[in-house]
Amino acid sequence: MIFKKAVNIGDIASIGRYAFVRELSFHINTLKLLSKALCVQSNVNPQEKKVFVKRMELINAMRENF
């Protein structure tokens, strides 16, 4: 199951789906991972935290200039 390996609790995803008639279920067409649960990752791995901080500094600098 690739889904269980790629997505963790707290991750934000966009799902394209259609519902089955007369059932309480749906079929997922597309799954796009929008954001990982970065707070958990940065607490576990210091290297992840460094990358996250650098990325946020870059994004903030871009926002200020555009």
The ranges assigned to domains in the chain are 1-35, 38-66
What pLDDT score does 4 carry?
Answer: 63
What pLDDT score does 41 carry?
Answer: 60
Q: Could you read off the pLDDT of 4-60 as tens digits, one per residue?
A: 677 777 777 787 877 777 777 777 788 787 777 666 666 667 887 788 888 888 988
Structure pTM?
Answer: 0.38
The Cα angle at residue 54 between residues 9 and 51, in degrees rounded to 5: 45
What pLDDT score does 2 carry?
Answer: 61
The Cα angle at residue 64 between residues 62 and 66, in degrees rounded to 5: 65
Coil, strand or helix: which one is 33? strand
Q: Taking 60 as the threshold, does the pLDDT of residue 1 lie above it?
A: no
Residue 6 CB partners (closer than 8 Å, separation 6+): 33
